[in-house]
Amino acid sequence: MSYVVRRLGFFVVTLWSCLTINFVLPRLMPGNPAIAMMARFRGRVNGQVLHALEIAFGVNTKQSEISQYFGYLGDTLTGHFGVSLTFFPDTVLQVVRSAILWTLVLVGVTTIIGFVLGTLIGMISGWRRGSKLDSILPPVFVVTSAFPYFFVALLLLLAFSITLGWTPLGFGYSNTDTIGWTWHFIGDVLDHAILPACTILITSIGGWILTMRNNMITTLAEDYVRMARAKGLSPARIMMDYAGRNAILPNLTGFAMSLGFVVSGAILVEYVFSYPGLGYMLLEAVQNEDFALMQTLFLLITVAVLVAVLVVDFVTLVLDPRTRSER
Amino acid sequence: MATVTVGPPPARVAELVARLKSGTAGNLGRALLGNRKAMAGSVLLAFFAFCALFPRVLAADNPNAEIYARGAAPSAAHLLGTTSYGQDVFAQLIWGTRQSLVIALVVGGLATVLSVAIGVTAAYLGGIADDLLSLFTDVFLVIPAFPLIVVIAAYSKNGGDTILIAVLVATGWSYGARQLRSQALSLRSRDFLVAAKLRGERRWRIIVFEILPTMTSLIVANFLGAALYAVLAAAGLQFIGLGNPSSMSWGTMLYWAENNEALQAGMPLWAIMPGIAIAMLGGAFSLLNFAFDEIGNPALRPVRRARVRRDP
């Protein structure tokens, strides 16, 4: 029980740290870059909105840094992220809400598939070390995982969209479509998602395979595995329950972080395919120097990772008895 | 008949080589020689190191000079054609090696030192020290690296390479630290550590001489992983135009190629070659991982023999 409380405590503290980093960063940079942003938008947005932004970024305000800080914390925790200057008069919250589902569906599902598949392949190739599967699949996927995301995306785009014309050039759905839960629209969305999904799968699966395989090999040398063999247990049982269950622990740790990359690592993929998700929006915000939107997207990505880490902590609690006794 | 001259027959030379390879000092060499993937990785890395150190030997052209025909196809004079600014693509590719490689090695090294120092220490000390260090690691872990780099780059337009390296190290060490901590945690109650404690060894000595050697493979894997991460993150940042656009690197090449629509405009090599170079450098780091699970972890070898005996 105290383990659970501690993990929740960590959650709160880390969330606070991230909020603080978000607050400090623009103020830390030489010649607060927010000033330039304000100057560009003066006159184009109304005074009240501008004033709120000035407080958020510490420009032209008589408030002390401390009261700015608490003002910022309060606003953010209550969901007042401010106004997006790029998509004015939409608030940041409205803008983000339109993008989040795209990213969750595309990158979330793809990453989970990649993790499950990669862990399985890694486990089997670690178990059958030196087999045909072990000498072909891991090296191939390890090499593909070294490919830059955007480069794989560009190649797939060149091959399947530009040259062969099998898949659409980009975006999440066809402009001619109406959005809704019709089979036609869902098919169209899948059509647009296949290349980005393949890109993420190709580049992410190697990492899972390699770490799982290495863990598996280390675990297989353990006495309890030898013991299981001596007892004459079935190979499948030894692989899954004895070796696999222990070897998966470091991989799970990695997965927590990778779910954060669910939102973030796909930024470049979304950029290449103009996929209307959070990553694409983040780069859009950066290019337009829309710092309020940028900060919120950064925070959102961070919170996603935090939640993922928390979930994995609880899974580890179930899988690894040592975390229960030694803490 | 002619007398047979006495000399070392070829068979004896082979035996000598074999003996050299099997010696304890030859462990590294044997693992590298015996593992084709590791061999490929080392050769690739050596090649890139050569390009980075002596670019002039391979490409005499000035990579920045805009003096050639624009958008020319590959020819004897320009092996990979020219850019739409009239620069030699091959020269750019060779001269761009240095920056990518330096960033990879520096970031990989610094990040690994940080991961080991923080991860292993946390696991070994336990208690409040572990809590604080883990919290510190978690904070850096949950800050997703690439968005943070993007955000910092957005705030500090044209920050320069030092900022780039600092940010990549700051964002790149936490993953390794957590992995190393997990493994060190599982080692903590092992007999050989209990024995070392009972012998009255000092803590830092136990960490450095008892724990670290058993974790070599994971540490090396972390170095290679951090280096790979640095290559990809730096290239990605340059690709979206947040790097220094006048620097000589593969990511910057891709940025200019993408800006000039090189793929559609009949200069595909301008965009494809730097991408392949990045992938090959990254691939070299990945492939080397294979060697180190054999060198660093003695526990792997008995398992292998046991398997051979069981299924002939």
Q: Does B140 touch chain A (CB under 8 A)?
A: no
* Cβ neighbourhood burial of A41 (10 Å; 0-12, 13-18, 19+): middle
Amino acid letter at A241?
D
**Which residues in A lie closer than 8 A to residue B144 (C-beta atoms)?**
260-261, 263-265, 301-302, 305
Q: In angstroms, rounded to a whole number, what is the distance separating the alpha carbons of residues B210 and B189?
A: 13
Say how far apart CA A235 and CA A255 lie, in whole Å.
27
Amino acid at B44: L
| Structure-token match 């991989």, residue found | A251
Q: Which two tokens stand for residue B247?
A: 């620097």
Find chain A residues with C-beta within 8 A of B228's C-beta: 146
Kindly provide the ipTM of the predicted complex, given to two decimals: 0.76
Asked if A267 and B150 come within 8 Å (Cβ–Cβ), the reply is: yes
pTM metric for this prediction: 0.74
Whether A267 has its CB under 8 Å from any CB of chain B: the answer is: yes
State residue B110's pLDDT score.
Answer: 95
Partners of A256 on chain B (C-beta within 8 Å) are: 141
Query: Hey, which residues does A91 pair with through a beta bridge?
Result: A83
Give the residue on A whose Cα is nearest the Cα of B310: A229
DSSP per residue, B74-119: P-SSSTT-B-TTS-BHHHHHHHHHHHHHHHHHHHHHHHHHHHHHHH
In 3D space, the residue among A265, A247, A245, A248 whose CA is nearest the CA of residue A305 turns out to be: A265
CA distance readout (Å), A1 to A6, A9, A327, B60: 9, 12, 11, 67
- For residue A42, report the phi and psi dihedrals to the nearest 5 degrees: -60, 130
Taking a contact as any Cβ pair under 8 Å apart, which residues of chain B between 240 and 299 contact chain A?
240, 242, 254, 258, 263-264, 268, 271-272, 275, 278-279, 281-283, 285-287, 289-290, 293, 297, 299
What are A190's two structure tokens? 């899948």
Torsion, Cα A214 B148 B257 A163, to 10 degrees, reads: 60
Calculated CA dihedral for residues A86, B241, A28, A307, nearest 10 degrees: 70
The owner of tokens 């000033």 is A35
Give the CA dihedral A97, A98, A102, A104, nearest 10 degrees: 0
**Distance (Å, rounded) from C-alpha A161 to C-alpha A167?**
5
Low-confidence ranges of chain A (pLDDT < 70): 1, 30-49, 52, 55-56, 58-62, 88-89, 169-172, 174-181, 257-265, 323-327
Rg (CA), chain A: 24
Q: Which helix (H) or strand (E) holds A217?
A: helix A183-220
Please indicate if any CB of chain A lies within 8 Å of the CB of B158. no
**Cβ–Cβ gap A143/B289 under 8 Å:** no
Min Cα distance A47 → chain B (Å) is 24
A148 and B CB contact within 8 Å:
yes
* Chain-chain contact of B183 with A220 (C-beta, under 8 angstroms): no
What confidence score (pLDDT) does residue A287 get? 81
Instruction: Give the pLDDT confidence score for residue B115 in this predicted structure.
Output: 92
Q: What is the pLDDT of residue A30?
A: 65
CB contact set of B121 (below 8 Å; sequence gap of 6+)? B129, B133, B207
Contact A148 B139 (CB under 8 A): no
CB contact under 8 A, A214 and B221: yes
Contact B150 A147 (CB under 8 A): no
Question: CB–CB of B195/B248 below 8 Å?
Answer: no
* Distance (Å) from the alpha carbon of A112 to chain B's nearest alpha carbon: 18
Asked if residues B126 and A244 have their Cβ atoms less than 8 Å apart, the reply is no
pLDDT of residue B109: 94
User: Between the CA of residue B181 and those of A186, A321, B115, what are the distances in Å?
Assistant: 44, 17, 9
- CA atoms in the 13 A half-sphere facing the CB of B248: 19
A18 has a chain B CB within 8 A of its CB: yes
For residue A83, the cross-strand partners are A91
Under an 8 A CB cutoff, do A261 and B146 touch? yes
Q: Would the CB atoms of A218 and B285 count as touching at under 8 Å?
A: no
Handedness of CA B299, B303, B306, B312 (dihedral sign): negative
For A288, nearest residue in chain B (alpha carbons): B154
CB atoms within 10 A of CB B299: 15
Give the distance from CA B111 to its chain's centroid. Answer: 12
- Listed by number, the residues of chain B in 162-201 with a beta carbon closer than 8 Å to a beta carbon of chain A are 175, 178-179, 182-183, 185-186, 188-189
pLDDT of residue A43: 63
Both tokens of residue A175?
A: 């402009």
Give residues with Cβ within 8 angstroms of A249, minimum separation 6. Answer: A215, A316, A319, A320, B182, B186
**pLDDT tens per residue, chain B (312 residues)?**
344 444 444 445 455 455 444 544 455 556 556 666 778 888 889 999 998 888 877 777 777 777 776 666 777 667 777 776 777 778 888 888 888 899 999 999 999 999 998 988 888 788 888 888 888 887 787 777 788 888 888 777 666 778 788 888 888 888 888 888 888 888 877 888 888 888 888 888 888 888 888 887 788 888 988 898 888 888 888 888 887 777 788 888 888 888 777 777 777 778 888 888 988 888 888 778 666 655 655 554 433 434 444 443
User: In terms of Cα–Cα distance, which of B239, B243, B237 is closest to B275?
Assistant: B239
**Residue A126 at interface with chain B, using a CB cutoff of 8 Å:** no
Q: DSSP letter string over B159-222?
A: --HHHHHHHHHHHHSHHHHHHHHHHHHHHTT-HHHHHHHHTT--HHHIIIIIIHHHTHHHHHHH
Report the 10 Å Cβ neighbour count for A163. Answer: 10
Integer Rg of chain B from CA: 25
Residues on chain B touching A218 (C-beta within 8 angstroms): 217, 297, 299-300
Give counts: helices (H), strands (E), chain A.
Answer: 16, 0
DSSP string, A288-301: TT-HHHHHHHHHHH
